[in-house]
Amino acid sequence: MESTSRLRVGTLVPLAKDKAVSSNGSVSSIPIFEGSNVVGRHHLVAVDKRISRKHLSLHASADGSIEVVVEGPNPIIVRSDGQRRKVCAQEKAKITKNDVLELIPGDYFVKYMGMEDENKISAPVESSELKKGKRHIEEDCAAVKRTRQIIEDEALARTLQESFVEESVNVADMACGQTLSPLNSAGPSKRSNERMHSAGPLTFRLMRVQGLPSWANASTVTVQDIIQGEVLLAVLSDYMVDIDWLLTACPSLRKVPHVLVIHGEDGASLELLKKMKPADWVLHKPPLPISFGTHHSKAMLLVYPHGIRVVVHTANMIHVDWNNKSQGLWMQDFPWKDTKDINKKVPFENDLVEYLSALKWPEFRVNLPVVGDVSINAAFFRKFDYSSSMVRLIGSVPGYHTGNNIKKWGHMKLRTVLEECMFEKQFCKSSLIYQFSSLGSLDEKWMNEFAYSLSAGKSDDGTPLGIGKPLIVWPTAEDVRCSIEGYAAGSCIPSPQKNVEKDFLRKYWTKWKADHVGRCVLPFLYGAIWHVSQENFLELIGFALRRAMPHIKTFTRYNGQNIAWFLLTSSNLSKAAWGALQKNNTQLMIRSYEDKIAPGEKIRTKLVTLCWKGDEEKERSTEIVRLPVPYQIPPQPYGPEDVPWSWDRRYTKKDVYGSVWPR
């Protein structure tokens, strides 16, 4: 990990409000390294929007002194030498060892403690505060050492599964196609046109996670991989947007001449977004006609000299989502239409333009070198040739939808699309999987309504597939506790007990297990433990526990390792996201904007998991696409000791950072 190669100068240790060293988990222990450091919302155990995503910048010198700059809009308090000083936005302050910061005045106390040994600490050793603080630092140093040992033992774990890894890497590449190169911007060429037309039809990938071993990040992508090359126009759609992080993570965006950001921010977060954005960027929050709705869609439209890149993904535009979570995306490149084909339309194009029209962004004009002066509205996106697409875009748009519009959005649109698809006979009565990161307030009536939509479709002999048994893949409290973020990961799985612990849901719960893609416990290690030395036991278990909690949302129908269809979406399992039928099934009510990628009517490929062991020789007439499904299929039911995660429940067993989870 990067931080282990920098010189550690100290730690910001959480304190209780009485300034006693605390392990109540409100703030994580924050290691400070020589050079630049950032303190922000991701260091909190529970989300508090008063703390900005980039709340403080800290520049630490080799002598241990730190210059603090307040980056967020809210002030902090610095306690030094008996004085209490308020430091406001963009102001600077110097802190030294034993100074105390209040990240919000009166709340989130942290004490800066150096790395000296006991003899060099100026306060008396008998002080219980310093004893606890020193022990906290020693434990933190031990954690760094354990991390280093885990990295060293990675080679051993990799050897134990070498044959599997080779297969995973190869099939992931096969599944994703070759669409990550930027669209050629040097002028027309045979090579660029071939690339534009030969892009893989099912380009699904997982996103890279910091701290995972290299094999687990094979064929994954980062935001820099997606936004590259000569982008003429970018439309970025998301719920949360951290402009400062985005421009740091993807500096090429600064060179894009026209950027439209469609977002769901409000209040102080919106004011910060307006303040931080480049002057020529356009912001738009779509109208929300029904209370408790959000703009939750996550997508990118990147226009290049030779076409467009369409991306549907699951991550907010913030650091933790693109670095610490299990996330996914679908992506495909499409060329500009030939003049003779300008009026030709395909279903994906209609899906996209209808959805973009519903967003109602303020139209603006730009001059593009390819087409000259044009208006950027929904109709502009009809200028591209989507005929190579084999997927459909399923949008959710807030409103009360009736008549023909009832089938245009949400789960009713998915039902309509699936009814047009033909599937193999093996998928009759086969199970459904719902995997997501937030659970709405549901009832059995709606669950049956939803299952009916997702069970639509016919087998190749024309008979209906029939209703599938739903299974919910959801992390347990133990999964969250042992994740790479500890309990802090639970703040992005924001479902309360009243939603999670309904009796009728118990029959649906199955485990989040992703050993084959390195995002969860690796159970194969336990069988291999007996063949390694005892001293490696703890390191191997530590390696196995480096888990990335899911923020990805996927829904699928499967039989064994065969997949009928696979849907990637921004939608969680809620009526607000998918819609609920009303008035004797004549009206569909949706609260939020969402986007989803689903199969098209003509499925010409065989979808399988990475663990599929079929005979490809017997399947020569069909293209086999192996999808990096981010959880085990079939999923394992919860055991009697498993408790589904809910973020307002109290957990007293300490996580990997020594914190507990407060209610």
Query: For 64, left (φ over 0), alpha (ψ -120 to 50), or beta?
Result: left
Predicted pLDDT at 125:
37
* CA distances to 452, 507, 558, 634, 638 from 471, in Å: 14, 8, 11, 10, 11
Kindly state the helix (H) or strand (E) to which residue 112 belongs, with its residue range.
strand 107-114
Q: Residue 347: is the preceding peptide bond cis (ω within 30°)?
A: no
Predicted pLDDT at 514:
67
- In whole angstroms, give the CA distance from residue 646 to residue 438: 10
Token code pair at residue 252: 């090429």
To the question of pTM greater than 0.85 for the whole model, the response is no
Domain ranges of the chain: 2-152, 161-389, 392-512+549-627
Inter-residue contact 465 to 457 (CB < 8 Å): yes
Predicted pLDDT at 156:
36
- Phi, psi (deg, nearest 5) at residue 300: -140, 140
Predicted pLDDT at 171:
32
Token code pair at residue 253: 């965006």
Q: Name residue 329's amino acid.
A: L
- In whole angstroms, give the CA distance from residue 71 to residue 22: 26
Q: Judge whether 551 counts as a catalytic residue.
A: yes
Predicted pLDDT at 603:
57
Task: Give the annotated binding-site residues for substrate.
Answer: 298, 553
- In whole angstroms, give the CA distance from residue 93 to residue 109: 16
Task: Give the annotated binding-site residues.
Answer: 298, 553
Predicted pLDDT at 153:
37
Predicted pLDDT at 249:
94
Q: Determine the number of helices (DSSP H) and then strands (DSSP E) in the chain.
A: 15, 33
Task: Assign a CATH topology to domain 392-512+549-627.
Answer: Endonuclease; Chain A (3.30.870)
Task: Assign a CATH topology to domain 161-389.
Answer: Endonuclease; Chain A (3.30.870)
Q: Cβ contacts of residue 98 below 8 Å, gap of 6+?
A: 111, 112, 113, 122, 123
CATH for 2-152 is 2.60.200.20
547: which DSSP letter?
A: B
Predicted pLDDT at 43:
84
* CA distances to 88, 422, 562, 620, 627 from 605, in Å: 58, 12, 11, 11, 12
- In whole angstroms, give the CA distance from residue 78 to residue 460: 70
Please list the alpha-helical segments (H only) found in 229-266.
Answer: 243-249
Q: Judge whether 296 counts as a catalytic residue.
A: yes
Given the residues 43, 136, 296, 411, select the one marked as catalytic.
Answer: 296
Given the residues 42, 313, 411, 551, select the one marked as catalytic.
Answer: 551
Diameter of the chain measured on Cα atoms: 85
Inter-residue contact 181 to 225 (CB < 8 Å): no
Q: Cβ contacts of residue 471 below 8 Å, gap of 6+?
A: 431, 432, 433, 434, 508, 510, 634, 635
Predicted pLDDT at 620:
66
How do beta strands 364-368 and 328-334 pair?
Answer: unpaired
Same fold, 161-389 and 392-512+549-627: yes
Inter-residue contact 389 to 312 (CB < 8 Å): no
* 10-residue averages of pLDDT along the chain (663 residues): 64 73 62 90 78 91 92 91 89 93 90 65 41 47 42 38 37 35 42 33 79 79 94 97 94 95 94 93 96 96 97 96 93 93 91 97 93 95 94 96 97 96 95 97 97 96 96 96 90 94 96 65 34 38 57 96 95 97 97 88 76 74 83 93 95 91 71
The residues that bridge with 458 in the sheet, in sequence order, are 422, 464
Closest by CA to 418, choosing from 460, 455, 446, 369, is 455
